[in-house]
A and B are shown apart, each in its own frame.
Chain A
Amino acid sequence: MGNKLIKWLDERLAITTLWRVLMAEYYLPKNINWLWSSGVLTILVFVILVVSGIFVLMYYKPDAKLAFDSVNKTIMMDVSFGWVFRHVHAVGASIMFLVLFIHMGRGIYYGSYKAPREILWVTGFILFVLMSATAFTGYLLPWGQMSYWAAQTITTLFSKIPVIGPDLVIWIRGNYIVEDATLTRFFALHVTLLPALIVVFTVIHLYALRIVGSNNEDGIPMTKEEKKEKGIPFWPVFISKEFFVMSVFLFFFFYLVFFNYKFAMDPINFEPANYLQTPPHIYPEWYFLSFYEVLRGFFFSETLGLIGFVLSMVIPLFLPWLDTSPYPFISAKHRPLFRIAFWVFVADFVALTILGKLPPTGLFAWLGFIASLVYFGFFLALPIISKIEKKQAASGGVR
């Protein structure tokens, strides 16, 4: 019966060939570690977000008067297991960024953004921007105090853009302040356009991956034939490890969902939005804190801060062209200089994230300024490191 069905389908859809090409005869290098599971983990989290999102969408009301209660009463209290879906969705959004940061960090450490994987890097970057936009629009929806004031603060930034700024803000908000019109348009973007674009770019991302293949720990370029000989097939070898990584990840994920969700659901957001009462501390969700801190880091000049903020978000896009050193200088494993720069960068990113939540006064303001400079310092050091490494490569290469 099963065989018959497969045969029937195969004659019409060539599914066995498809399976071979996509799964059983797609080879990965052997010298990769579980960080190469991070890509599939992002897909897993995305699926979790979509499924939980559809469930909360069934009861959510995109109206400034109803939104808060529809989330905090209807979904959290009345619908059976509604709270599970809300917790899963909120924690999922947060964990998506943790997984994305690991995924990007892996890409940077092992030089996966370098030729020939530039398109992978660029589409990945676009996915990050889309995911950020989805998270930002989604955070407004429960219409709590921090939802409101984070949206108010961030949209205000656009007003600093010369000439068109003030009109642009009103266009984005649909009013002079964040209110019902803002909520409904953020809602529309959050549930339709942005997730659809994420799907489209994920497909392009994966297509590009199929063409150039996965990088590996040592950054050794491999042809398809070499991989076939020395590598492992995606199915069942790679996937068996992937499932194990997924299980461990889900254990951690559900621990957060049920027992430790406060980091993803800020207490102050359980107070309804009140446009007359500014909270004493306004901060975005943790995954934007580093960029937010660059904005505040240039505390002596609003314009510089804004430029820094935009640059800090955009500059990772240009990694493949800032860092051009050739093989063997691909993976940080074999690039002592780059390795130092990488770890300084990671430490700096953590520092920026923490400082982003602290009040920007006194010592913290200066630390923020220095950390912002170090952030850009990493990217500016790359051309210099490349130059040194190119010389080494020309003189025989050091391994």
Chain B
Amino acid sequence: MKELKILLVIVVIVGITYWGIEPLAHSIMHKHIEEAIEKYNLPDYKFSDLGPAPAISGDAAQGKKNFQMFCASCHGLKADGIPAPMDPKTAAASFGVVPPDLSNVASFTAENFLYHFIKDPARASEFKKISMPAMGLDDKQIMDIIAYLKSTAKKIHGAELFKEACGRCHGAKYQKIYADTPADALKKYLGKVPPDLSIIMKAKGEHYLVAFINKPQALLPGTSMPRVGLNEEATEDLMKYLDEISDPHKEQRKKVGLIVLAYMLVMIGLTYAWKKKIWRNIH
């Protein structure tokens, strides 16, 4: 009884300390993050600050023509046999970043975001120095292009999604994925080399990542990471991937953990029985 009382006292002291240095401290240190998430109601997959896309149904065939006229000087679209106009080095030297291939962009980007991005990249991405210019296209032209992009887009997952959505700036070197753009060009363009994302899930956690990718400026005011407008499905897919690569032994850990704990339970029983036996004649 006395032994249990001592244990209880220690459990209470350790419990209070743990509560103070973990949940309490984190809630206080990360207050500004929670506040930003609440203020902007993140993740906001409607990108409600931008408003909807115009209700015009686009024409993919016309869109392809527009694409070749306005976009193909910078972007490739491999799915439809349009190669990248420049090699990555030249592209990086010209724009600071390699313009992404747009084959599947419509499958992982929200439609109204895409519309606003093509109309005014700096406003939609919330990155003033973004190197894609606003081209003064009218709504019909843009919606035609979007219809074309949709016609070529396949659903992509995991590593492929990561490479197409983030790969122009970020690598995941533990997966042997390297950013398309050379680091020094990125540094010049963005002011810093974007971090490697191999174990970013462990460093930041899903709650933060989802909100950050949805609206970087809300959580890191002044950051040079553009908003990229991932839709909900793609965000979830990407989170799953980032979690898998940052913690590849999750399943194994659970399994081994349970076996070890079960073993320790048996040990507790055996040692208790032995103690009982030895102490029977004491007191």
Please report A residues at the B interface, Cβ cutoff 8 Å.
30, 33-35, 69, 72-73, 76-77, 81, 83-84, 98, 102, 232, 236-237, 240-241, 243-244, 246-248, 250-251, 254-255, 257-259, 262-263, 267-268, 270-272, 280-281, 286, 289, 346, 350, 353-354, 357-359
Contact = CB atoms under 8 A, between A and B. Distances in A.
A83 B253 contact: yes
Nearest to A238: B278
A72 B199 contact: yes
Given A77-B248, A248-B268, A251-B261, A237 B282 contact: yes
Nearest to B265: A251
B82 interface: no
Given A255-B261, A354-B21, A359 B248 contact: no
A243 B274 contact: yes
B202 interface: yes
Contacts of B265: 251
Nearest to A83: B249
Contact of A268 (B22, B203, B268): B203
Given A73-B174, A243-B271, A251-B261, A237 B17 contact: no
A248 B267 CA distance: 9
Contacts of B199: 72, 270
Contacts of B260: 254, 258
B248 A251 contact: no
Contact of A77 (B2, B7, B174): B174
Contact of B261 (A232, A258, A268, A350): A258
B25 interface: yes
> Lowest 3 A-B CB distances belong to which pairs?
A258-B257, A354-B20, A270-B203
Contacts of A358: 24-25, 28-29
B135 interface: no
Contact of B278 (A34, A240, A263): A240
B256 A258 contact: yes
B21 A353 contact: yes
Nearest to B202: A270
B14 interface: yes
A354 B24 contact: yes
Contacts of B14: 98
B212 to A, nearest CB: 14
A244 B18 CA distance: 25
Nearest to A144: B203
Given A72-B199, A263-B18, 8 more contacts: A72-B198, A76-B249, A236-B278, A244-B271, A254-B264, A263-B22, A270-B199, A353-B21
28 contacts: A33-B2, A33-B3, A34-B6, A34-B7, A72-B174, A72-B199, A77-B249, A84-B256, A102-B10, A237-B278, A237-B279, A240-B277, A241-B275, A243-B271, A247-B264, A247-B270, A247-B271, A251-B267, A254-B264, A257-B257, A258-B261, A263-B18, A346-B13, A350-B13, A354-B25, A357-B25, A359-B28, A359-B29
B17 A251 contact: no
How many interface residues does chain B have, given as a range?
Answer: 35 or more
A281 B29 CA distance: 8
B195 interface: yes
Contacts of A102: 10
A33 B21 contact: no
A214 B231 CA distance: 67
B70 interface: no
B6 A35 contact: yes
Interface string B243-262: 00010110001101100110
B133 interface: no
A278 to B, nearest CB: 14
Contact of A250 (B18, B204, B264, B277): B264
B40 interface: no
Given A254-B264, A271-B195, A358-B25, A30 B282 contact: yes
Interface centre among A69, A76, A244, A246 (most CB of B within 10 A): A244
B56 interface: no
A227 to B, nearest CB: 14
B17 A267 contact: no
Q: For the complex, would chain B's binding face be called helix, strand, loop or mixed by DSSP majority?
A: helix
A241 B249 contact: no
Contacts of B54: none
Nearest to A77: B248
Contacts of A33: 2-3, 6
Contact of B271 (A246, A257, A258): A246
Contacts of B279: 237, 240-241
B3 A34 contact: yes
Contacts of A250: 264, 267
Contacts of B267: 247, 250-251
Given A34-B3, A353-B20, A359-B28, A258 B253 contact: yes
B57 to A, nearest CB: 46
Given A77-B248, A77-B249, A267-B202, A244 B275 contact: yes
A358 B27 CA distance: 10
Nearest to B264: A251
B52 interface: no
Contacts of B6: 33-35
A254 B268 CA distance: 13
Contacts of A236: 278
Contacts of B202: 267, 270
Contacts of A246: 271
Nearest to A253: B264
A359 B248 CA distance: 34
A243 B275 contact: yes
A270 B2 CA distance: 43
B41 to A, nearest CB: 24
A240 B253 contact: no
B205 interface: yes
A98 B195 CA distance: 35
Contact of B257 (A81, A259, A286): A259
Nearest to A244: B271
A16 B58 CA distance: 94
Contacts of A346: 13
A251 B275 contact: no
Interface string B21-44: 110110011000000000000000
B16 interface: yes
